[in-house]
Chain A
């Protein structure tokens, strides 16, 4: 399923991003928000890795660091582009980042603010081509038409403005724009969260189809586990800036190894009234990234926490083949997944 030929397309090592908190008269730095607190993973060519988590977990910040939309505080982001050369995106001076843009692109969450309302579709989808001096005007026109067709819109629409389109259609336009330069990596930041239920399916299908047709690699950021199940090969669960579990999709859902994953799976409402059963509800609030608990960040809410969890932060370690967990008690606990697929 995952086209693994050779080295991974993207490797992230110990990525960190901190935002300073300033207070008081002189705007003194009183602390920082550790939005991303040591994140490591890799993505192979052609596969989809999803970053899942609740608010404050740092998934969006991670995604934006990878694209260098934000500058990371520390860590390495190794990207192997079209020419096979490995580049550390995090360490690049900003002017060298521009050529890299052709290889990595983003699909945004909000279809209303991610398209400039004052530009036509041709201008929006064609801008990456124009800015990177790809092709002549006629060639660009053709390419835009081709892209629009690819995402399921009629090419005649290219003269229209975004206000003429619905949310789902706008998202298609955003996808077309992301594909303009034929990137190898596409980061999708909650691409369906702002859409209606019936439209979500269309866009998810589109993304899966495009991946197969164009050989794309996806980093999929989402908060909704059910969406994630439909598109991912592997899933990474994040909590307060760290990855707590990383596993192939099926395994994560059926045999989670981290208590937080278990809680998330239990919390997702399932669309089948016969599955009500006993609900396990996690107490407490999502931890504050500006002030994370000592030791394991999850320990105040964890039903299985022991003394060690309060003082010592666990590391992300191999638990089984391809399955990483960050929990002291991973091996002893037998956690519940979601059961057999329907």
Chain B
């Protein structure tokens, strides 16, 4: 068990490192560097920047050093929590991102919770009552979720809401809470607004999970231990819920590892459509404006948080699967 934890931990660290490299690449990709962008920004607002100043800035930021040195400098700063300046906003990146990052994660986790809550019973029902009407309906709905990109669902719902109800269904807060400081009331308001975007976001994942659950359960239902359980006189539902479902849950739980990145990804676009105050719209703006520190940091933090979530789910898997728990201990 210990070796399992250590292995997972190492992998998480490795992945985070890879993400940091990718984020750095993204930061460096556009032509020119931070100072060039800074100069452009200054010039656009009317101030000129002399060449000397430009050179000094470059020296100061270490922009004339080889790339890997720059990377290390950046990593040192990042690990201290300093993410640089957001050009467009004129504020430190951390200040700009702060709330939005947490909201993104809240939205993603909410989506996953909804996904589980929906997919589990539907998947079970689908497998147990195979080929019934309910199964076909569930499969079909599942397909919709799979086939229609979440942003499209968001679009259609937005349109429908607007057109038929005159309401704007976007946003995570009621008007009075948007700028207000955090309070219990604000949290409650958030929770009230969360389900719809989380549902939209989670729909695609739900489809996937229904299929996985259904396939796993169908596999397990044919196995001898299910028959043995029946042969001992347990009622049908108890047989199914206690045994094959429990076993099929294991691969189910491990899917969270792949679901989280998928959902976080999707939240970017859905947030754009629904105008949610999450990281998505921020990232897009940053990329278009070539505000690279902001963009890179968002990519980095999103990635790391996702990896953390995956790690937690792996630990969860370990907890529920005795085969992993007792590895080596016979």
Binding site for B on A (CB under 8 A): 23-25
Contact = CB atoms under 8 A, between A and B. Distances in A.
Interface in B1-18: 3, 6-7
A164 to B, nearest CB: 26
7 contacts: A23-B3, A23-B328, A24-B3, A24-B328, A25-B3, A25-B6, A25-B7
Interface in B192-225: none
A25 B6 CA distance: 8
Interface string B308-330: 00000000000000000000100
Contacts, number: 7
A35 B3 CA distance: 27
Nearest to B5: A25
Nearest to B10: A25
A18 B328 CA distance: 20
Nearest 4 Cβ contacts at the A-B interface: A25-B3, A24-B3, A25-B6, A23-B328
A14 B197 CA distance: 71
Contacts of A25: 3, 6-7
A281 to B, nearest CB: 26
A85 B6 CA distance: 55
Contacts of B3: 23-25
A23 B7 CA distance: 13
Interface in B273-330: 328
B120 to A, nearest CB: 34
Interface string B101-145: 000000000000000000000000000000000000000000000
Contacts of B6: 25
Nearest to B4: A25
Contacts of A24: 3, 328
Nearest to A27: B3
Contacts of B328: 23-24
A165 B227 CA distance: 30
A28 to B, nearest CB: 11
A91 to B, nearest CB: 36
A23 B327 CA distance: 10
A190 B145 CA distance: 51
Nearest to A23: B328
A180 B7 CA distance: 50
A24 B3 CA distance: 6
A23 B328 CA distance: 8
A203 B7 CA distance: 50
